[in-house]
Structure 1
Amino acid sequence: MFKKDPLQVIAFQTYGTSNHLYIRGRAIEDESINLEQKGAFKLLFNAWKRFETDEIKNTELIIKIGEDRFFYTKTDKRGYFLLDETVEDDLSVYANDEGWVAMVASYRQEHITRTIQSDNRFPVEMLIPSIHASFGVISDIDDTILHTGLVSVLKWRVLINTLLTSAGKRIPLEGASEFYHLLHQGKTGNEANPIFYVSHSPWNLYRYLEYFLKKNKFPKGPIVLRNFPRLFAKKAKNEKPQKQKEILNLLKTYPDLKFILIGDNGEHDPVIYLEIAKAYPKRILAIYLRRVNHKNRMATVYRLYKNYKNIPVLLVRTTDEAIKHAKKHGFIAN
């Protein structure tokens, strides 16, 4: 009989407010995936392990804040959990200077007979934006800060990059990290403007993308992905893309915060961002769209934004161009 892997809780970097606790994550077996793995076969095996997860279903978890604040949640049939709760006390007292609240997740001992990593203590972090923040940034990941090849024929580059390239070897777009740090610092240099990374990628790639962002020194921020789509599942008529729903939830969560939207012109970002900007004209400060090498997509974006003049929109060729534009509009220091 095969020995079962130890259990773990992967809590996604998420966001909340001083009186709203919003924690997402997943309870699964620890497959000990090496994010710096080398060798095609081992990389393929790692990729298989990311998607062939052994989830811990219908299991109670405890979330601890500080010394004596406890909250309880339960995993679903795919091992995911969501703690979405309004509280009376001020959670910001637990936050550091950047607004991060550190917590600990653990399994309810009476439900667990298996070996558990880390002495049944798993880190959880939630961002409460600083009171000094002037705006927030909502950024895509694929082909916005990370080369993926989404517009390649049959998306073959996506497969090669995801399956045969370790997270440590993935290449960020030139200057992207610097630009995001400037936006994070804002015009005064100490605004701690929150950066939200919202991607169409599935949660299975969370640790992969988290490692990429950290290794390439991007500002720390909540990472919002999506559930892996069920086979043959049909969307309801006129249902919005999950990415759009997540962005709208950010606007709802922070009604007094304005946002800059950053994406690329290769997939759905231009349509989603324009629709949001039109629906919330006073909430969106600017839209930045990275140019991808695809003639038809470029033509579509030009037509889409041709007569839109309400807020600044830049089709970004280089990061230097984006930095100059941000300085001109007072988003970052000169």
Structure 2
Amino acid sequence: MPNHKRFRRYPATLRRGLRILAAPVKGDNGRGGFFIQPYRGYGSRDRVFLMGRVFRQPGFGAGIKEDSLRRDLLDLVRRLLRKPVAGGRVRVRYKDTSEIVETDRHGFFRLDMSLGEIPSDVEWHEVELSLDQPVDERATTTGEFFTPTHSAGYGVISDVDDTVVHTGVANFFKMMWRLFAQGADSRVVFDGVPELYRGFHEGPEGNQGNTLVYVSRGPWSIYQVLVEMFRLHRIPNGPILILREWGMKRGSVLPRRARDHKLDAIRHVMELYHTMNFVLVGDSGQHDPEMYTRILREYPGRILAIYIRDVSRNPERSSAIAKLAEEAGDSRCDLVLSDDNRVLAEHAAKLGLISQAAVSAVRNRVVTASND
């Protein structure tokens, strides 16, 4: 793109980025006080798991027009100044079922609730959240959680960092610049990923609505940015589990050391959807192959394929992954290592996981990107 056109885009780009950064505090219309920020949850026909955080945020700018630059700047300042609320009691209600959960010292709450009434056969459902302690009748909001529909044929658990997005996700400002300055044409997302993941979601016939769950090593502060990035690149919606501050032991919801978070998250999803088989997608640089083959051993017959993006460029690492692929093969599961999403798409089509139309879409995107 010519420089003069790029420069003309910068003001709108900065405004869009500013609104995304300020978005987490905008639900209170500038009044300040206590504020509940829920994250997307996931559930089954009889359970729901959802996380969120409670803040006390300053109140100023309430009389300023919502979509003005001044209001966005003030809301960004409010986000920087807000404080987490420890020991808060949050009431979560879904239809005729409710439960109270308490925030930890960082303000996070974790809900694992049995459902009295079965969710309808749609993917997304709303829950009501309110604050019982400290008392603030204005601190109410709605959250959402995902459940698979009856048409879902399988699920996908995917890493985000170095799998969906380039490792620049760890560099917050670099990712923000790429995302909002370059938009959908940015190289934040690996070529072919949106097309491949839409293929997973649609399934071989194009109408399955398969489950996708994403896990990220980033901090919760980038959650809203990831949501916007997925929307911008048309990557299918799904719960995004941020592994920092996320953790649980089987049967309880308790903080754990970061080292075990990803394994715990995958186990929780596998056990919640205990009748569903899964595809696991990760990268070669963060112990994903070892972790995924461990999951393969723990849940025999339930892993359809393991796809690993090769980011290491290290012969010794590739050799180690090849041995893991042999181990996976002994369990009748293919572990495919490649840095090209066309290879992954073609293998997935051979297994009947995605359609040929999805393979063509991945090929076209990769070829187009290589010619840019």
TM class by shorter chain equals 0.7 to 0.9
Matches within 5 A, 1:202-217: 202-217=219-234
Equivalent residue, structure 2, for 1:271: 290
1:144-179 per-position Cα deviation (integer Å, ceiling 9, x unaligned): 010015xxxxxxxx65x3244315456101110111
1:24 to 2:24 alignment:
no
Cα shift at 1:6: 4.4
Cα distance in 2 for residues equivalent to 1:325 and 1:30:
49
Q: Which moved more, 1:168-177 or 1:295-304?
A: 295-304
| 1:277-296 alignment runs, 5 A limit | 277-295=296-314, 296=316
Larger mean Cα displacement after TM superposition, 320-329 or 298-307: 298-307
Pair 81,324 (structure 1): closer, same or farther in 2 beyond 3 Å: same
Question: Is this contact kept in 2: 1:63–1:71, CA < 8 A?
Answer: yes
Maintained 8 Å contact 2:57/2:82: no
Instruction: Identify which of 89, 102, 105 aligns with 2:126.
Output: 102
SS of the residue 1:241 aligns to = helix
SS at match of 2:305: strand
Pair 1:10-2:27 in alignment? no
Change (3 A) 1:270 1:110: closer
**In structure 2, C-alpha distance between the alignment counterparts of 1:72 and 1:319, rounded to whole Å:** 44
Alignment partner of 1:199 out of 207, 210, 216: 216
SS of alignment partner, residue 167 of structure 2 = coil
Amino acid at match of 1:106: S
TM-score relative to the length of structure 1: 0.77
Gap change, CA 1:54 and 1:306, over 3 Å in 2: same
CA contact (8 A) 2:38 2:52 kept: yes
Are the structure 2 counterparts of residues 86 and 240 from structure 1 closer, same or farther at C-alpha, using a change threshold of 3 Å?
same
Deviation at 1:82, TM superposition (A): 1.6
Deviation at 1:4, TM superposition (A): 9.6
Q: Percent identity?
A: 27
Segment drifting more, 278-287 vs 288-297: 288-297
Q: Helix, strand or coil: the match of 1:201?
A: coil
Pairs aligned (count): 292
Structure whose alpha-carbon radius of gyration is higher: 2
Q: Is the contact made by 1:168 and 1:212 (CA closer than 8 Å) also made in structure 2?
A: no
Alpha-carbon distance, 1:320 to partner? 1.8
Q: 1:31 to 1:126 in 2, by over 3 A?
A: farther
Amino acid at match of 2:128: V
Question: How far off its partner does 1:29 sit?
Answer: 4.2
Are 1:301 and 2:321 counterparts? yes
The residue aligned with 2:113 is 85
Match of 1:153 in 2: none
> Any idea what SS the aligned residue of 1:146 has?
coil
Query: Residue 21 of structure 1: CA displacement?
Result: 2.5
Letter aligned with residue 304 of structure 1: L
Of the three residues 78, 100, 108, the one matched with 1:72 is 100
Name the SS for the 1:108 alignment partner: strand
What letter matches 1:12 in structure 2? Y
Give the alignment's Cα RMSD to 1 decimal. 3.0
What's the counterpart of residue 366 of structure 2? Answer: none
In terms of fraction of residues, the more helix-rich structure is 2
Of 4-13 and 191-200, the range deviating more from structure 2 = 4-13
Looking at structure 1, the residues matched to 336 and 56 of structure 2 have their Cα atoms a distance apart, in angstroms, of: 44
Q: Distance in 1 between matches of 2:31 and 2:85?
A: 12
Q: TM-score, normalised by structure 2?
A: 0.70
Distance in 1, matches of 2:277 and 2:304, equals 7
AA matched with 2:226: L
CA distance in 2, matches of 1:165, 1:254: 33
Q: 1:146 aligned to 2:160?
A: no
Offset at residue 326 of structure 1 (A): 1.0
> What is the match of residue 135 of structure 2?
111
Name the structure 2 match of 1:37. Answer: none
